[in-house]
Structure 1
């Protein structure tokens, strides 16, 4: 991905979606070691890890055709080895970091967009033997979901670029409400990220609150103030996200998203998610 200055702000980080999928596989499939990263040109950069014991894999660049991941990247299909140390079907460029982790059996799954690997997912065990069908199925399903997510994000970026080109042709400089709402949702998602420092998160929330006033709306009474998390969820729903998509973007469980929506609806006096978004906008809680 090579975002422009506008969609660099609007587009959520693809690594966040990748991390959420790895967490899902770890939880549902009980896979002891999971890692992955985005592909940049002909090199995979490993950035996301669960269950690793050392830092030797962190930041590793895997070249196309090199190692198991490189071979899977080029082939465009999942590939596995039952005993990494003795595998003769792959190159052994990365033996040191892999073997230091104690990894023996490993599965690499490419995330393909239009036939090109955009990311890689790995699942590994510290014992030899074939990767089970259940684990393989979970990882392939994760790769497919990521592929669809990336396609959707690419299309959003494409449309934003077209709109920018159109507005530039007319000398337009005022942002549309949809753009402001997209920025607002993205700021709140960033502020909710557990890796963001508290001071930075507070600043992001203040910026998001300032955007709310950019779209005029009739002020309506709300029985109780919404919490930051309730507003985070409503901001994603306002962008058309399903509960599962909002959960993925905010690193929450779908059930937790439902709980926040129910509590927000009770405070707003609404019955549906769409009524909640509408009432929150009228109350100038979200743009």
Structure 2
């Protein structure tokens, strides 16, 4: 499956609003290459569309298809580097296929920064002024920070897509392959805690429930925990899931972005609820209860 583009649009808008709220880039706009595509830095994706606007006075830029190499954004797309012009209409360092749309919005000084994920240009963010002022380091750094934040959000979405695809595939019959299932379950739970998008987070947790229930004995198929199963908190389950995949307390803490002492506390609480005296007993009891795969 493909994680829908709605969440990506929300994240692009958040990046643009961050740029605009700095007070240095009152107009911002941008978009991503469709389908999560893009070629390695230096080769350029073929095209992207400007899909999100902030601080604009018209809709002239919305939906504009930016082709690699064309205009300021196309140059950024092709080269994977930031570029800026002080007077867009008169600049000799870019081509001018999009002058009409830029003029309709009344833009003069414009900068563009690439959104790069795993060395692939996934989109471009623009910041602009309606006056011909040189855009120096401060506005450029604001745009770069917004791009980095968006890149991190896209990395999380890409990983969510990979794990959800795995979780929705037919589960293995070979018992030896269940270690991979358990690792995916632990990664899904850890990732869900980092996702601000409530819909995506719910999708990840639903996949976790499916993987956990799939480990139930064949004679008692379930779609969730067994009746009467201990009520573990989400964080207790996160910790237990990481431990079940072979992680040490320190590794679980790093994965879940917790302190090792906090991991120990959650683990002790989970063991008490499960009536277990060791980590292994806790994992076995959680699997029997349909809480872990």
Q: TM-score, normalised by structure 1?
A: 0.59
Rounded Cα–Cα distance in structure 1 between residues aligned with 2:196 and 2:167:
24
Which residue number corresponds to residue 17 of structure 1?
11
User: Where do residues 131-170 of structure 1 align in structure 2 (5 Å cutoff)?
Assistant: 131-162=135-166, 167=171
Structure 2 counterpart of 1:127, from 128, 131, 134:
131
Which residue number corresponds to residue 77 of structure 1?
81
Rounded Cα–Cα distance in structure 1 between residues aligned with 2:50 and 2:171:
38
By how many angstroms is 1:275 displaced? 8.6
Structure 1 counterpart of 2:29, from 15, 19, 35:
35
Task: Describe the shift of the 1:45–1:133 C-alpha distance in structure 2 as closer, same or farther (beyond 3 A).
Answer: same
* Contact 2:82 2:114 (C-alpha < 8 Å) held by counterparts: yes
In our comparison, the structure showing a higher alpha carbon Rg is 2
Rounded Cα–Cα distance in structure 2 between residues aligned with 1:132 and 1:89:
17
Q: Please state if 1:55 is matched with 2:59.
A: yes
Q: TM-score, normalised by structure 2?
A: 0.58
The SS at the match of 1:136 is: helix
The SS at the match of 1:80 is: strand
* Contact 2:3 2:161 (C-alpha < 8 Å) held by counterparts: no
Task: Describe the shift of the 1:138–1:214 C-alpha distance in structure 2 as closer, same or farther (beyond 3 A).
Answer: same
By how many angstroms is 1:18 displaced? 1.8
Rounded Cα–Cα distance in structure 2 between residues aligned with 1:273 and 1:49:
42
Root mean square deviation, CA, Å: 5.1
Rounded Cα–Cα distance in structure 2 between residues aligned with 1:185 and 1:164:
20
Task: Describe the shift of the 1:188–1:274 C-alpha distance in structure 2 as closer, same or farther (beyond 3 A).
Answer: farther
By how many angstroms is 1:164 displaced? 5.1
Which residue number corresponds to residue 224 of structure 2?
214
Rounded Cα–Cα distance in structure 2 between residues aligned with 1:11 and 1:214:
29
Q: Give the stretch that moved more between structures: 120-129 or 152-161.
A: 152-161
1:218-241 Cα offsets, whole Å, 9 max, x none, are 469xxxxxxxxxxxxxxxxxxx88
Structure 2 gaps of 5+ residues are 35-44, 211-222, 233-254, 274-293
Rounded Cα–Cα distance in structure 2 between residues aligned with 1:118 and 1:101:
25
* Contact 1:10 1:186 (C-alpha < 8 Å) held by counterparts: no
Which residue number corresponds to residue 89 of structure 1?
93
Task: Describe the shift of the 1:12–1:95 C-alpha distance in structure 2 as closer, same or farther (beyond 3 A).
Answer: closer
Task: Describe the shift of the 1:16–1:144 C-alpha distance in structure 2 as closer, same or farther (beyond 3 A).
Answer: same
The number of residue pairs the alignment matches comes to 231
